[in-house]
Amino acid sequence: MKIIEYNSMYNEQIKDLLVELQNYLIDIDDWHTQVMLPEYREESFKMDIKKVNTQEGKIFLAVENNLIVGLIMGIVQEKDEIDRLTNDCAKTGTVIELIVKDSIRGNGIGKLLLEEIEKYFENIKCKRISIEVFGPNKKGLNFYEKNGYIPRDIIVSKKLD
């Protein structure tokens, strides 16, 4: 297995991984609010690629036997006027996708991908990295905590009937 930079020849496999992740989120959603519309596969990919291309982003792929087994996408977080008024606005990298094929999770691929994007963010002078984790995704949260990430900005929700 090797980690490479994004290559468009893998676009269809990347889309498949995005669908796999969304299916996982649907499965663990105890409120049953996660959905996947028919256009999800194409549109989510287009939105991610646009962010990467316009926000100083990077994509790394974990490849084994010419098959994508994992990916990570990162961008530089854009600041709005409230940010400028309320924090130091240090350059912050944001991981927008980290996916490892379900069948091979737990083999260190996610850690290798995370380390690769961390090196990229460090090289472009980011001072922080943020990653949004879906609340019910306890495995994801545990993974990030094991890799030195801490809950920092927490959104709480209440379901109304």
Average pLDDT value for residue range 81-109: 89
Residue 115 has a pLDDT of 98
Q: What are phi and psi of 76, to 5 degrees?
A: -95, 125
Picking from 142, 66, 69, 146, the residue whose alpha carbon sits closest to that of residue 104 is 69
Q: For the full predicted model, state whether its pTM sits above 0.75.
A: yes
Q: What is the mean pLDDT of the chain?
A: 95
AA identity, residue 23: N
For residue 132, the SS3 value is: coil
Sequence ranges of the domains in the chain: 2-146
Tokens in use for 142?
A: 């545990």
Tens-digit pLDDT profile for residues 5-35: 999 999 999 999 999 999 999 999 999 999 9
Tens-digit pLDDT profile for residues 71-91: 999 999 988 888 778 878 688
Residue 86 has a pLDDT of 80
Topology given in CATH for the domain delimited by 2-146: Aminopeptidase (3.40.630)
